[in-house]
Amino acid sequence: MMKLKSKRFGRGTFKFGNGGNSVKGGEKRCGNNDNTIISEIKWELRPGGMLVQKRETSGSSVGEGMITVRVSTVSECHDVSIESTSTFGELKMILSLITSLEPREQRLLFKGKEREDDEYLHMVGVKDKDKVLLLEDPAIKEMKKLHRLAGTQQIGTPYCTISV
């Protein structure tokens, strides 16, 4: 039987066909007797399409699990629980249920910059207990105001005809 060798990104060699010398979860020992431990590399696909080595950290890692975002408006403050891998557009959808502002009427600012709907929370650095500012879009606010004024004027004024 032929033994195959494979390079593992500079971590040593691993010989296949030894009966699987497993140690701990994901770690293997080399086939020779030097007791070298080779850890298995885990990969993850980021939302942007980039393949990166998965980070192993204690507790909650960036980009995983639920986070609580404090959303401040001009008059009030809301604590919203959301997945850290969600987009700002998804956050706007949740806020539309709370604030009665449609997502297109909302502007979300994080760290002084307005964020687009397709930006991911964890990619721009939003972490648990971070603050996001919610403003009503001034253009849409002005349009609503004009519609209300136009509606009240049309109701109160009768139509006139001019004879020549």
Listed as ranges, residues in the chain with pLDDT below 70 are 1-39, 56-64, 152-164
pLDDT for the residue 15: 46
pLDDT for the residue 47: 78
Is residue 28 within 8 A of residue 22, CB to CB? The reply is yes
pTM over cut 0.75: no
In angstroms, the first-to-last Cα distance of the chain is 109
pLDDT for the residue 35: 61
pLDDT for the residue 77: 93
User: How far, rounded to the nearest angstrom, does the alpha carbon of residue 102 sit from its chain's CA centroid?
Assistant: 20
Every domain of the chain with CATH number 3.10.20.90 lies at 66-137
Instruction: Using alpha carbons, select from 143, 144, 92 the residue that is nearest to residue 114.
Output: 92
Q: Which amino acid is at 47?
A: P
128, 57, 54, 28: CA torsion to nearest 10:
-160
Please report where in the chains the tokens 């509606």 appear, as a residue.
Answer: 151
pLDDT for the residue 8: 54
Q: What is the CATH class of 66-137?
A: alpha beta
